[in-house]
């Protein structure tokens, strides 16, 4: 079963932490380097995220994410290294292009922040089941309707892709050309997309009825099948994170 999600099912400490703590971690690991704009702090936050990813055994999955963002980061390094206002000390040169130290250091700071943000989000995305995250938010007052939309999209879009494939096969078996030149593909598009859209409209209506009769609009206060993972360590994690944030603010104000 295809599900639109990057979740990696492992049994580690990081997986057991509740989603809210992870969201808090994202916020704080982004906020601290902004409050304390030193490279060492940025590096520290980044290393903490990477260590957490390693503990969760999902670091391999982050590498493609980071390497994808490398294209952007590389352009930042080149542009800042060559053209940043205030560039004075030349570091090295490739041909006639001279890279300056100030620009490169500034670029390095941006790179650290970007990778830090990516890693922090990766912890949430790779180690939390989407359904757990949504349920957690619904418990904290997110409308169950929005929660349903978020949760069902992850499963229903792959289902629609599967329907699309079935319809493509059906049309192809009736002799329709779906591959080849661009003009052929465009011609094939309409007879394919028509049934898919009609089909999903009908399905949506039927599903809406099925939800209605399962008391979806009930005014009774909702209960949950799964117990909330609310270990004591989750509370400790949250308190520690908030203390760190306060500490960072205090440091900035005092120094």
Partner 1 sequence: MKKIIVENLKYRYPLSNELALKGISFEVDKGEFIGIVGKNLSGKSTLCQALVGLVPHFYKGAYGGSVIVDGLEVLKSEISELSQKVGIVFQNPFTQVTGSKLTVYEEIAFGLENMGISREEMRERIDNSLKLLDIYKFRDRNPFDLSGGQMQRMAIASIIAMKPEIIVLDEPTSQLDPQGSEEVFKAIQNLSKEGMTVIMVEHKMEKIAKYSDRVMLLNDGEIVDYDIPEKIFSRGDLDDYGVTAPVFTKICVGLGVKNKITGLYPITIDEAYDLVVSYNE
Residue 92 phi, psi (nearest 5): -160, 170
Q: Which of 208, 242, 247, 250 binds partner 1 (CB under 8 A)?
A: 208
The answer to whether residue 221 forms part of the interface with partner 1 (CB under 8 A) is: yes
Q: Which of 69, 171, 203, 234 binds partner 1 (CB under 8 A)?
A: 203
* Residue 143 beta carbon to partner 1: minimum distance, rounded to whole angstroms: 13
Angle at 199 between CA 195 and CA 204, to 5 degrees: 155
Q: Which of residues 144-183 bind partner 1 (CB under 8 A)?
A: 144, 147-148, 151-152, 155-156, 159
* Residue 196 beta carbon to partner 1: minimum distance, rounded to whole angstroms: 15
The answer to whether residue 8 forms part of the interface with partner 1 (CB under 8 A) is: no
3-state secondary structure 135-201: HHHHHCCCCHHHHHHHHHHHHHHHHHHHHHHHHHHHHHHCCCCCCCCHHHHHHHHHHHHHHHHHHHH
The answer to whether residue 220 forms part of the interface with partner 1 (CB under 8 A) is: yes
What is the token pair recorded at 235? 């509370």
* Residue 208 beta carbon to partner 1: minimum distance, rounded to whole angstroms: 8
Q: Tokens 């792959």 map to which residue?
A: 158
Q: Which of 184, 210, 246, 247 binds partner 1 (CB under 8 A)?
A: 210
Q: How far is CA 84 from the centre of its chain?
A: 31
Q: What residue ranges bind partner 1 (CB under 8 A)?
A: 1, 3, 129, 131, 144, 147-148, 151-152, 155-156, 159, 203, 206-227
């Amino acid at each position: 079963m295809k599900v639109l999600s990057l979740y990696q099912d492992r049994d580690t400490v990081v997986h057991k932490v509740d989603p809210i703590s992870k969201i808090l971690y994202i916020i704080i690991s982004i906020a601290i380097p902004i409050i304390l704009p030193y490279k060492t702090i940025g590096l520290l936050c980044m290393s903490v995220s990477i260590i957490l990813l390693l503990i969760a055994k999902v670091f391999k999955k982050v590498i493609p994410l980071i390497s994808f963002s490398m294209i952007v980061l590389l352009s930042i390094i080149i542009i800042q290294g060559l053209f940043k206002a205030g560039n004075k000390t030349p570091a090295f040169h490739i041909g006639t292009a001279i890279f300056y130290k100030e620009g490169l250091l500034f670029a390095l700071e941006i790179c650290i922040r970007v990778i830090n943000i990516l890693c922090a989000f990766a912890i949430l995305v790779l180690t939390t089941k989407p359904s757990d995250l949504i349920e957690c938010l619904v418990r904290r007052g997110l409308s169950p309707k929005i929660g349903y939309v978020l949760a069902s999209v992850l499963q229903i879009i792959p289902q629609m892709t599967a329907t699309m494939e079935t319809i493509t096969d059906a049309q192809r078996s009736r002799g329709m050309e779906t591959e080849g030149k661009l003009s052929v593909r465009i011609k094939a598009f309409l007879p394919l997309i028509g049934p898919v859209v009609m089909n999903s409209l009908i399905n949506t209506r039927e599903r809406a009825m099925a939800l209605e009769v399962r008391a979806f609009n009930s005014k009774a206060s909702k209960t949950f099948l799964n117990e909330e993972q609310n270990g004591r360590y989750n509370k400790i994690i949250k308190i520690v994170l908030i203390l760190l944030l306060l500490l960072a603010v205090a440091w900035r104000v005092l120094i």
